Amino acid sequence: MNKKYKYLDKVNFPADIKNFTQSELKFLAEEVREEMIDAVSETGGHLGAGLGVVELTVSLHYIFNTPNDKLIWDVGHQTYPHKILTGRKDRIRTLRKGNGLSGFTKRSESEYDTFGAGHSSTSISSALGIAVANKLSNKSDNVIAVIGDGAISAGMAYEAMNNAGASKTKMIVILNDNDMSIAKPVGAMRTYLAKILSGKIYFSLRETTKLIISAFSKRFSSKAGKAEDFLRSAVTGGTLFNSMGFYYIGPIDGHDIDTLISVLKNAKEINYDGPIMIHVKTEKGKGYRFAEKSADRYHGVTKFNVNTGIQEKSKSNSPAYTKVFANTLLKHAERDSKIIGITAAMPSGTGMDIFGKKFPSRMFDVGIAEQHAVTFAAGLATEGYKPYAAIYSTFLQRAYDQVVHDVAIQSLPVRFAIDRAGLVGADGPTHAGSFDIICLSTLPNFVVMAASDEAELVRMINTSIDINDKPSAFRYPRGNGIGVNLPTIDEKLEIGKGRVIKEGKKVALLNFGTRLKECLIARENLIKKGINITLVDARFAKPLDENLIWQIATDHEAIITIEEGSIGGFGSHVAQFLAEKNLLDNNLKYRSMILSDQFINHDNPDLMYKYAGLDANSIENKILDTLNSKIIIKKTN
């Protein structure tokens, strides 16, 4: 830590706060918040969510005996205070850096991270599994899941609550309601929770404490007293959770440590065989005025000035791929009223906020519900509309059955804009877009494209507009383009046709995606050594440009494919084609360059690709190895 703190300096693990007074806990919370703001200003990361749960985090670790009592955080955006209190405060400035702390919970990082997360809505399911395991093992450890109002809108959370209520298993669910996920929550659940908060049951500290203690004490005696009856009738908003088998309490002030401790203590000690839900109202960005005023902009931040709140801007003058997608789709939507935009709780992350501002009636944010997003798009497609489902590659994984069953089998023209394809840097393996090529290119009738630069992305969007008889997808990475001029929206591609970038001899390098720039660097370096390479931008993983592949297979000594995806994708389809056409029997050498068979930890994206063996130096060495050249290129550090 860079600063000296009166209370936080005394805390290395949660056991160190057990003897604090409640007044001291309040000062500790202030110091945790200050340290978190200071650290994230240096590292970047998720800020607003963590600031909103500081008091809750302190109270949970004060009341419960972690790590024996199991604390499960949903998503993990909000766990920086948790990391500070659980033996990692001296490493908090390594957040999201190479060999540093993960930005999410990670089991291999700490025993206090009970369950790894990165995607939302998994906490209640995993907590129930742990609680049932405790029951089967005759353990009395508590299990607590913390889930946000955005994450609880997802279908998986309801499946888990349904199961938990029916199983009569003791567990505690904390509903952290800050009326904010990454963007504003949407849908009926948001309205439902707002109704609770606008009712008469948002009590003061004294009222809440008396009511909860009284209700709990009477609830489990032989006769339920008036306090419980009042609680049950007053909490009209809790009816849904009650009907699912939960004992609902709340809402309570999530920034009032006295209230939190009273409620959590009673929830821990009460002898109740069944799940308990505690509805906690918090403010995202609490304690940092810039984050309080603009919770969405301070959900995830770059490095920033603590005093001014000004975030560090990208040094690139090239437009971000996401913005290129959004602006291109906007131009098409001005011409075509059938174009619909769909996002799953990521309007700003996917650029759909730009679309929604211009066409509010034609943009739908369905919440954290990727499965629904895909089938919703399929329904629109049956009626002649042109839905664009803009979903991160890593999140599209969650809807694969819907892609197969509801879209592909029916050959419906849903267009998938797959953002964050490939390795994504600081968010690490939970957010890496490694598997979409495999998942989609194995499906009959799908058109699967990957942009090698921002101009190609525009052409692929243009092309997708006219694909009206089958589903299509185009993938593009996080970050900025390379600075090429953008074509008009009338410039389209021929389906299934690649392009030859550079002609050469001996080796043909088939690129699929944004490794094209690295391929060009490798080619230039090898030209200096007398080795000329044919470079192809494949553009399509499905359908393959079979004529072009056939031609280069017969004209070259070797073919090497390269892609930002795992085994089973573009390279595997090329290998299958070569084998089926007996082209590998003519002394043709074939190699594929893919993401290595592992989950790659968070780091700078360039270093991640170097580690994965997909940088220019690795491409050079692969070509030389394929040719059995005696030239050795030493890898640079």
Q: Which residues are catalytic?
A: 284, 370, 398
Spatial contact of 64 and 71, defined as CB atoms under 8 Å apart? yes
Which has the closest alpha carbon to 565: 538, 525, 588? 538
> What contacts 592, CB < 8 A, 6 or more positions away?
560, 561, 562, 563, 567, 571, 572, 574, 575
Distances 427 to 101, 104, 561 between C-alpha atoms, Å: 11, 8, 27
Taking the C-alpha atoms of residue 294 and residue 196, their distance in angstroms, rounded to an integer, is: 24
**What is the distance between the alpha carbons of residues 567 and 434, in angstroms, rounded to a whole number?**
9
Residues linked to residue 184 through DSSP beta bridges, in sequence order:
none
Strand, helix or coil at 389? Answer: strand
Q: What H or E segment, with its residue span, contains residue 262?
A: helix 257-269
Which residues in 194-343 belong to E strands, given as ranges? 247-253, 275-281, 300-301, 339-343
d(CA 576, CA 557): 18
DSSP code, position 85: I
3-class secondary-structure state, position 178 = coil
In terms of Cα–Cα distance, which of 306, 289, 460 is closest to 388?
460
Rounded to whole angstroms, the Cα distance separating 295 from 178 reads 10
Neighbours of 509 (CB within 10 A): 31
Q: Judging by DSSP bridges, how do beta strands 533-537 and 499-502 pair with one another?
A: antiparallel
Residues forming beta bridges with residue 175, ordered by sequence position: 147, 279
The angle at the Cα of 84, spanning 33 to 283, to the nearest 5 degrees, equals 35
Report d(CA 421, CA 504) in Å as an integer.
29
Residue 237 DSSP code? G
Tokens of 157: 């959370």
Collapsed DSSP state (helix, strand, coil) of residue 385? coil
What are residue 176's DSSP bridge partners? 148, 280
User: Given the DSSP bridges, would you call strands 339-343 and 386-392 parallel, antiparallel or unpaired?
Assistant: parallel
CA nearest neighbour of 396 among 435, 363, 366: 435
Instruction: Decide: 417 and 480 in contact? Cβ < 8 Å.
Output: no
The residue type found at 520 is L
Rounded to an integer, what distance in angstroms lies between the CA atom of residue 118 and that of residue 349? 16
Q: How many CA atoms lie within 13 A of 273 on its CB side?
A: 5
Contacting residues for 471 by C-beta, under 8 A, at least 6 apart: 403, 407, 408, 411, 412, 413, 414, 415, 416, 443, 445, 446, 447
Sign (positive/negative) of CA torsion 540, 542, 548, 551? positive
CA neighbor of 473 nearest in space, from 482, 464, 484:
464
Distance CA 249, CA 211 (A): 10
The backbone region for 96, taken as left when phi is positive above 0, alpha when psi lies in -120 to 50, beta otherwise, is: left
